[in-house]
Amino acid sequence: MRVAFDARVLEDPRIAAGGIGRYASCLLDSLEAAHGDEVVALRALGRPPAPERLKEGWEHLLLARDVRRAHAAVLHSPSVDLVSLRPGAPLVVTLHDLVPLKQPERYLRTGLKHRLRYRAVQGAERVIVPARSVARDAERLLGLAPERIETMAYAAAPAFHPVSGPRSLLERLELPERFLVWVGGLDPPDPRKGVEALAAAVRAGSGLPLVLAGRAGPAARPLAAPGRVTVTGRLTDLELAALLTAAEALVFPSADEGFGLPPMEALACGTPVAAYAAGSLTETLGDRRDAVLVEAGDMEGLLAAAESLAGTRAEPGQRTWADVAADTWAVYERAARER
């Protein structure tokens, strides 16, 4: 069986640098390692010139041609970004969350584009979600039948593990001796992630200082404060693993998560996590002794929980991307067989 994997999301720097990019690249690498030439990565596709506003519309017409040329039995779109209404083969799509539909006033500035994307999801043979909370959202907001939804947890990328002598890799950052860490995008900060309130609380407090790691734009500058809040900008995976290893705890005040890769990456580096009990985090972190969940919105409680974890170490999870790839391939087989 040949599977076409839509790797175009990895050609968009903004998507590739975030959690969706991490998911797509880790999954594709593991699928190719396990199945070789049976996986056809669709990328660098030839396209006629078109105005920017029309490019995604062209893709709905042209992607089916590329899938047919690949002789693929299944097409997998690893994100709703660029998902096709005319896939050319049974479609498997990964739905990471439904935050845009839950908070349309904040995220749906381009309503038509998102309506087309979600219509494509509704027409998919199988929809992969990372947590039961997202499955429930998909049933409620998109009307998906439960039997078409496949729930599977993600994993930390192989780069994330405890790093020996982490500070030797981080000298250029001039970090405090002890600190809390937050990881995510800051160009601009996503209000859902709570980083602005987190930085304000740390600036005003007297506890451990905070290091904010992730791609940063001009909107991130007001978050920094000498001696209290450090903004690193984007780091390499090795630097990020070292930073997580060196931190006392990851603090994660997200109000809604489809899965939450940063907590998984922190735990993989041996670093405990303090987070809001929101979205899927109650599933992914709720039964772990090295993670503390507090009520969403309780910033004081969150920082207190993070401070209480200082000096402790976490146990890395056992799930790998090879496991995710094996589960995903089984979904492909079901999608191809049932069509």
The predicted-structure confidence for 80-131, as pLDDT tens digits, reads as follows 988 988 899 999 999 999 998 888 776 666 567 778 889 999 999 999 999 9
pLDDT of residue 46: 75
Report the greatest alpha carbon distance in the chain. 61
Label residue 339 by pLDDT band (50, 70, 90): low
Does position 61 have pLDDT exceeding 90, yes or no?
no
Mean pLDDT of the chain: 93
User: Cα(4)–Cα(45) distance, rounded to whole angstroms?
Assistant: 13
* pLDDT at residue 109, as a whole number: 60
3-class DSSP state of 18: coil
| Distance from C-alpha of 304 to C-alpha of 308, rounded to nearest angstrom | 6
Among candidates 245, 237, 196, which has minimal Cα distance to 220?
196
Q: What is the arithmetic mean of pLDDT over 12-37? A: 95
Domain boundaries, the chain: 3-155+321-338, 166-309
Q: What's the predicted TM-score (pTM) here?
A: 0.93
* DSSP conformation letters of 186-255: BTTBPGGG-HHHHHHHHHHS-S--EEEES-B-GGGGGG-BTTTEEEEE---HHHHHHHHHHSSEEEE--S
Please say if the pLDDT value at position 132 is more than 80.
yes
Burial class (CB in 10 A: 0-12, 13-18, 19+), 171: exposed
Mean of the pLDDT values across residues 132-150? Answer: 97
Cα→Cα distances 65→42, 47, 72, 89, 306, Å: 11, 12, 11, 10, 51
**pLDDT score, position 52:** 66
Kindly report, residue by residue over 174-187, the tens digit of the pLDDT.
999 999 999 999 98
* pLDDT value for 62: 84
Tens digit of each residue's pLDDT (9 = 90 or more) over 246-272: 999 999 999 999 999 999 999 999 999
Q: Which of 122, 82, 156, 113 is nearest to 319 (CA)?
A: 156
User: What share of the chain has pLDDT > 70, as a percent?
Assistant: 95
Q: Quick one: pLDDT at residue 113?
A: 76
- The residue type of 177 is E
DSSP state of 162: P
Question: What DSSP string describes 305-331?
Answer: HHHHHTT--PPPPS--HHHHHHHHHHH
Superfamily for domain range 166-309: Glycogen Phosphorylase B; (3.40.50.2000)
- Domain 3-155+321-338 and domain 166-309 have a common topology: yes
Task: Note the pLDDT of residue 116.
Answer: 84
197-247 residue pLDDT tens = 999 999 999 999 999 999 998 988 999 999 999 999 999 999 999 999 999
Give the residue-averaged pLDDT of 60-66.
84
pLDDT band per the 50, 70, 90 thresholds, residue 1: very high
Q: Rounded to whole angstroms, how far apart are CA atoms 92 and 90?
A: 7
* pLDDT for res 219: 86
DSSP 37-106: GGEEEE-S-------HHHHHHHHHHHHHHHHHHTT-SEEEESSSTT--SS-SS-EEEE----HHHHSHHH
Indicate whether 190 pLDDT > 70: yes
- Specify the pLDDT at position 106: 66
CA distance 91 to 329: 13
3-155+321-338 topology per CATH:
Rossmann fold (3.40.50)
Q: Is 44 exposed, middle or buried (0-12, 13-18, 19+ CB in 10 A)?
A: exposed
What's residue 38's pLDDT? 98
